[in-house]
Structure 1
Amino acid sequence: MFFKIVSNRKAPHILSTVVFQSPYRTVLKDNAVPTIFDLTSHLNNPHSRHRKRIKELTEEELEKMKERRLEPCTESMMINNDSDITEGQATSEDPPTLTDEEKEVRDYLKSLFEILVVLGKQNIPLNGHAEEDKESTCFTPSNFQALLEYRINAGEEVLRKRFESTAVNAEYCSSTQQKQMLEVCESCIREELLQEIRECRFFSLVTEDLVEITGECHLPLFLRFVDQSNCLREEFIGFLPFEGDEETLTERLLFEITEKWGLNMEYCRGQAHVSSGVFTKKMKSVATRLAEKYSLAVHTPCSTCALNIYLANSITLTGVQIVMSTFKKIDSFFSNSLVLQAELEHAISIFYQGNEEKANDLKETCHTSWTERHDSFELAVDFLESLLLCVDSIHDNEDFKWSDQVTADAYMISEALADFEFVVTLVVLKNTLSFTRAFGKNLQGQAMDVYFAANSLTAVLHSLNEVMDNVEVYHEFWFEEAVNLAAALEIPVKVPRLYYRKQRPEAGMEIQPESYYKEYLTIPVVGHVIKELKDVFSENHLKALKCLSLVPSVMGQLKFNTSEENNADIYKNDLPNPDTLLAELHCWRIKWKHRGKEISLPSTIYETLQLSEVKFFPNVYAFLKVLCTLPVLKLENAKCNTARKRFNAYLADTPINHRSKSLALLNINYDIKHDLDLMVDTYTKMYQEKENE
């Protein structure tokens, strides 16, 4: 006997069928969530065909099911235990018996791996000067050797026996064996992460700026995914050698991800590449090739980098690259010394004597990473005169307060700041990127901010196109601002010296600075910003961001008058029941529109995914999990950003000659569990011949 029950949410088209003769009898509560129960739509979904077909129960089967439910629990548990024992006896296999010698070797290897893991997690390099000059006796042994000796002296029997069986002055573990074991450690730790990512299916690829390791450039790789607890995470996976042309680099990257790591790039939903300098063009080409091969791996900016900084780094003009590299030098120069920061504050006080409020604001700002902010170019213009005054004073070093290295660094910064090309480039960047500043800031905000940013891109591009259409007028104002600023700094207005060396104009031909900078600076900068915005905010990218209206707080801000249906088709094949998507989206809006007054609207994807009732909306649930992986969206939980913080700390704390790809992975992923037995098994299989020798 069947009854149709109509929800009291004034949605007469939403029907739920309850079978009262079923042993799974259910009563629909007054506050039940309206949803769609469609048991057939998954049959048309290729991603769901592996699921078992629902069986129609006969009357006899229903009666038997009722009888089983009435049986005592103890009897049921006994039956289950008996069946488990029988199954275990049938499937279990005794582990191979090891000889005493083999056990001793395994225990010895476990001790070595344990030492390597400790050194890696504590970021202690294995080797020292003794490895560089083995004939010298004036250096202490390597850290690895010293820790081995310490454990032997502490009474570790396994290592002591091994030591007694080796020749006098022989290495306990050769550098070759250490390298092999490090590779095994790295592989096992990475596999723990990759296994978790495979279970979650969807991920995004994020690369950072190049890192120098053992004299070569390497590309840091991160993967972003939503784990089983519905928490967005970004984990460090390793380094990729940065060698070859764009095609070679792309092939090596794909080989690493698919063949070596076992991930399916068809599940990659986003990519972001943070790069600077001459390597920016190559990474842009890699991103384009990946997007051509995997259309859903949309190229986006990275949430950890301000959009204006990202746009400036992507411009390959020499003047722009000088500005960006000088920013890095300024940050490195002042951030590591409170004394130098105090000197800069003193220079600010001198320059802004008549404006104490402005001076205090700048003093407070100089203690932050202001060179990485959305408004960094505006701040640089405000700082410029104080900065030049400060570094000139440090370089003069009249009271012999500063070391030679500090004065040399100050001189390099001073030379860059006191050049007109730097000044005019800074002014052009400030004015051009003022149109994208608010847009970029919203991209790093809450879900509602990102949604409105996605819908405001057209207006941003319209403003920039207007600048391009009237570039003569805009350039005239910008150039005048640069000339006035240069005059205040006593910097002569001139064309870059390198231009004359490259172009070699005819004798007597004079190049006007205003015309030169319009042709070779303003027009290329504005044109590049327009093109880059169109590239990284493609149609698929904007469609995905506009689906942030699925977040209840965004939905509420829009008065629940949303239309995700127009954009949701981008991830249609990723949904469990795409045929019911439209009806489910309607139910999702109804649920939040008619919520109780005491219920607040979740404001982030993370908060939405943590709701217990979200799983009653399987398509919305799946859609939000995929959308969340886009690199442009910020990591909402500070805990999920641990890997990046430890990555930056590793680079800051580790000298270049002590960096190691394997130890870096161990240090950055210190919280990943490690299985010493697995490491031993892996090592034995990979290097069995070595062990037998």
Structure 2
Amino acid sequence: MLKERKLDAVTPLQENHQTNNNDVEIQIEIDESEEISAMTEEERYNKDYFRSLFEIVLLMGKQNVSLEGRNLKDPDGVYSPDNFQALLEYRINSGDEVLRRRFEMLAVNQEYCSRFQQEQILEVCERCVREELMRDVRNSQFFTIIVEDAVDMAGEEHMPIFIRHIDDANNLHEEFVGFLPYDDDAELMAMNFIMAITEKWKLNLEYCRGQSYIASSRLSSKMKIVASRLLQKCPQATYTLCSSCALNIWLAKSIPVTGVSVVLGTLEDIYLFFSKSPNLEVELENTITGLYMENIEKGNELKEILKSEWISRHDTFEIIVTLLHPLVLCLDRVACDNSFRWNTRITSQAFILSSALTDFDFVVTIVILKNALSFTRAFGKNLQGLTSDIFSAANSLTAVLHTLNEVMENIEVYHEFWFEEATNLAALMDIPVKLPGRFSRMQHLNLQPDLTSENFYKEALSVPTIQHIIQGLKDVFSEQHLKALKCLSLVPSVMGQLKFSTSEEHNTDLYKYDLPSPETLSAELHCWRVKWKHRGKDVELPSNIFESLHLPDIKFFPNVYALLKVLCILPVFKVENEKFESSRKRLKFYLESTPVEQRSGHLALVNISYDSKHDLDVMVDTYMKVAANDAKFDSLSPHSEVVEEV
């Protein structure tokens, strides 16, 4: 009876609504069927064919399988298929009729799909995957850009690019979006970078609010030019440090001294040598145990450090100075092993690394870096700490610069102590104190007879290192950057630390055009302070930007909400949820697991973004348009090889 009453109570309006919905569904089905019927049999066949090709390429991209694989011909000239063709043949044998019809009349040793066509398909896959990422970035409006240090991609240098944005649920994302090709001409590289952002990726630079660059000394000066050109186009693109790199490592990477670059490369080799072999790690731990038998606590502390990613810490150079003796002893044992525990590759590499570590040039460089960067260690650690620590760091920069300038004025005295520490460490390990061999060979007869090792390293290492640290801090901590950091006083925990006596208006001028109602900002900030000052005893103060953004009533403070959203995407702040920065780890894994000659920028993006949304039909339609355009172009040219096949 109840069901009958409900059915009788359905109004004519509801009936009409249901009828309209049914009509819409029927119309969609009719449109789709008309679209399919409008396609010729040949067009449908081509679309199915290309769909099969794209399915194979996407599978290979997600699984990080190189399209090429083995060479098409071995040294004896015998034909062997590449990975892509092998999968095509497997799919044909598994019953793919479209591919079978396409290739059944071809010779056994004939290439099914040309390398050019494979590259075209891969480019379209990359373009469509990136477009999905960029659509999310455009929807979030504001974004920041991070450029990492150059990597070798099949013999060419490229710099990975990440973009940060915040989604509708106020979660911060950091996505890998592609590579920037390296160019010796910094102006040309800057122009290509800006064109890629605006024309290729269709992003509006007016909404770029931050930029960060991690580059070695060779690239550092060029990336400064790129940063300045981007600032000219978008004055609000604040140049900041990146949270993924410790300040001291960032400063050391960009020091324009050859010896420093050599040391950083050697440290990377040492880290990889031990971290990739559990047996070698055990050997190093046993060496530490033997050396620190009288100080077991210190030995255990060093073992714990080795389990971390010690090569990227704030105190990396302090760690390597402490570990130098046990490292050399361990490497010598491996290199001189007579029990055949280690293979030839490991023993020869151990010998090379031991020789590098026992060069006085290496010893004096790590000691001077340790001491010179000790003045920025606490400052840099705060920048990667709690929000209150970051705010304190912004207010302590002046004191850090003052200390460094004092060191520079008294560099003779400081260098004397640093050099004495280096010689004592060298004496402990029987390393002779001498000028670097490369310097002696370059000087030949022009070598100054009264030039001592101490004076040489003062002018060649200590002075330029301190000068660069001072200039590097000034470059990255501009007035604009410091203003942004001081806006952290909006975070309730920082307000509480400052006894709710903050005045943020003069710092928020940087983002006044991003506010929904800037004329009410002053009154809104007053209400924001009062809200937290007079909170209940059981209410805790949000400790960072992200907790503040997820407050239930945050949208009642529209200006504060807008300011926090723009602030949190700056590269200097750490991504709170690790799952939203997984692309950085995936890129690292891709580079570690893929041989240099097989790396591909197109394949890398597909592999790293394997869980991104993508529409296979859109990819196929895009490719068919590209192929059609190429066919029109090539029809005007006598050179048309691949188009005929397409």
TM-score, structure 2 as length reference: 0.91
Q: Aligned pair in 2 of structure 1 residues 138, 349: CA closer, same or farther (>3 Å)?
A: farther
How many positions carry a matched residue from both structures?
Answer: 621
Whether 2:436 is the aligned partner of 1:471: answer no
Q: Aligned pair in 2 of structure 1 residues 506, 169: CA closer, same or farther (>3 Å)?
A: closer
Q: Aligned pair in 2 of structure 1 residues 285, 397: CA closer, same or farther (>3 Å)?
A: farther
Query: Aligned to 2:69, which of 128, 132, 140?
Result: 128
For 2:35, what is the secondary structure of its paired residue?
A: coil
Moved more, 205-214 or 676-685: 205-214
2:5 is aligned to none
2:60 is aligned to 119
The answer (yes or no) to whether the contact 1:495–1:511 under 8 Å persists in 2 is no
List alignment gaps of at least 5 residues for structure 2. 1-8, 632-642
CA-CA distance at 1:73 after TM superposition: 11
CA-CA distance at 1:557 after TM superposition: 2.0
Cα deviation code 1:369-422 (max 9, x no counterpart): 211111111111110111111112222233333222222222222222112221
Which amino acid in the other structure matches residue 500 of structure 1?
Answer: S
Moved more, 147-156 or 355-364: 147-156
1:99 is aligned to 40
The answer (yes or no) to whether the contact 1:130–1:136 under 8 Å persists in 2 is no
For 1:606, what is the secondary structure of its paired residue?
A: helix
More helix by share: 2
Which amino acid in the other structure matches residue 72 of structure 2?
Answer: E
The answer (yes or no) to whether the contact 2:583–2:609 under 8 Å persists in 1 is yes
Indicate the RMSD between aligned Cα atoms, in angstroms: 2.4
Moved more, 526-535 or 129-138: 129-138
Which amino acid in the other structure matches residue 598 of structure 2?
Answer: H
The answer (yes or no) to whether the contact 1:341–1:367 under 8 Å persists in 2 is no
Which amino acid in the other structure matches residue 573 of structure 1?
Answer: Y
1:489 is aligned to 429
Please show how residues 123-202 of structure 1 align to structure 2 within 5 Å. Answer: 123-131=64-72, 133=74, 136-137=77-78, 139=80, 141-164=81-104, 166=106, 168-202=108-142
The answer (yes or no) to whether the contact 1:281–1:316 under 8 Å persists in 2 is no
CA distance in 1, matches of 2:447, 2:460: 21
Query: Aligned to 2:219, which of 275, 279, 285?
Result: 279
Query: Aligned to 2:514, which of 574, 586, 589?
Result: 574
CA-CA distance at 1:504 after TM superposition: 5.2
Query: Aligned to 1:389, which of 329, 342, 350?
Result: 329
1:443 is aligned to 383
Cα deviation code 1:434-479 (max 9, x no counterpart): 1111111111122222111111111211221221122222122111
Whether 2:455 is the aligned partner of 1:538: answer no
Which amino acid in the other structure matches residue 388 of structure 1?
Answer: V
For 2:125, what is the secondary structure of its paired residue?
A: helix
Which amino acid in the other structure matches residue 270 of structure 1?
Answer: G
Query: Aligned to 1:262, which of 202, 210, 219?
Result: 202
CA-CA distance at 1:429 after TM superposition: 0.9
1:354 is aligned to 294
CA distance in 1, matches of 2:225, 2:10: 64
CA distance in 2, matches of 1:73, 1:609: 44
Identity of aligned residues (%): 55
CA-CA distance at 1:646 after TM superposition: 0.6
Query: Aligned to 1:109, which of 8, 29, 50?
Result: 50
Q: Aligned pair in 2 of structure 1 residues 104, 202: CA closer, same or farther (>3 Å)?
A: same
Please show how residues 497-516 of structure 1 align to structure 2 within 5 Å. Answer: 497-503=437-443, 509-516=449-456
Please show how residues 27-46 of structure 1 align to structure 2 within 5 Å. Answer: none
CA distance in 2, matches of 1:520, 1:684: 59
For 1:220, what is the secondary structure of its paired residue?
A: strand
CA distance in 2, matches of 1:333, 1:685: 49
1:640 is aligned to 580
For 2:139, what is the secondary structure of its paired residue?
A: helix
CA-CA distance at 1:277 after TM superposition: 4.4
The answer (yes or no) to whether the contact 2:384–2:573 under 8 Å persists in 1 is yes
1:36 is aligned to none
Q: Aligned pair in 2 of structure 1 residues 587, 121: CA closer, same or farther (>3 Å)?
A: same
Cα deviation code 1:102-155 (max 9, x no counterpart): 11211111111111111111111112214254984474x322222222222222
CA-CA distance at 1:527 after TM superposition: 1.3
CA-CA distance at 1:596 after TM superposition: 2.2
Whether 2:467 is the aligned partner of 1:527: answer yes
Moved more, 508-517 or 76-85: 76-85
Moved more, 360-369 or 74-83: 74-83
CA distance in 1, matches of 2:280, 2:168: 47
CA distance in 1, matches of 2:76, 2:552: 66
CA-CA distance at 1:306 after TM superposition: 1.0
Query: Aligned to 2:526, which of 568, 583, 586?
Result: 586
Moved more, 425-434 or 594-603: 594-603
1:310 is aligned to 250
Whether 2:163 is the aligned partner of 1:223: answer yes
Moved more, 89-98 or 320-329: 89-98
TM-score, structure 1 as length reference: 0.85
Which amino acid in the other structure matches residue 377 of structure 1?
Answer: F
Q: Aligned pair in 2 of structure 1 residues 352, 103: CA closer, same or farther (>3 Å)?
A: same
Query: Aligned to 1:661, which of 601, 604, 609?
Result: 601
Q: Aligned pair in 2 of structure 1 residues 442, 682: CA closer, same or farther (>3 Å)?
A: same
Which amino acid in the other structure matches residue 419 of structure 2?
Answer: F
CA distance in 2, matches of 1:363, 1:138: 52
For 2:302, what is the secondary structure of its paired residue?
A: helix
Cα deviation code 1:33-86 (max 9, x no counterpart): xxxxxxxxxxxxxxxxxxxxxxxxxxxxxxxxxxxxxxx996776777788899
Query: Aligned to 2:151, which of 199, 211, 221?
Result: 211
Q: Aligned pair in 2 of structure 1 residues 178, 310: CA closer, same or farther (>3 Å)?
A: same
For 2:173, what is the secondary structure of its paired residue?
A: strand
Which amino acid in the other structure matches residue 287 of structure 1?
Answer: A
The answer (yes or no) to whether the contact 2:164–2:174 under 8 Å persists in 1 is yes
CA distance in 2, matches of 1:691, 1:539: 59
Which amino acid in the other structure matches residue 410 of structure 2?
Answer: N
Whether 2:365 is the aligned partner of 1:420: answer no
2:490 is aligned to 550
CA distance in 1, matches of 2:257, 2:626: 49
The answer (yes or no) to whether the contact 1:214–1:657 under 8 Å persists in 2 is yes
Q: Aligned pair in 2 of structure 1 residues 507, 686: CA closer, same or farther (>3 Å)?
A: closer
CA distance in 1, matches of 2:537, 2:72: 70
The answer (yes or no) to whether the contact 2:287–2:329 under 8 Å persists in 1 is yes
Moved more, 205-214 or 148-157: 148-157
Which amino acid in the other structure matches residue 482 of structure 1?
Answer: A
CA distance in 1, matches of 2:551, 2:10: 33
For 2:161, what is the secondary structure of its paired residue?
A: strand
CA distance in 1, matches of 2:114, 2:325: 57
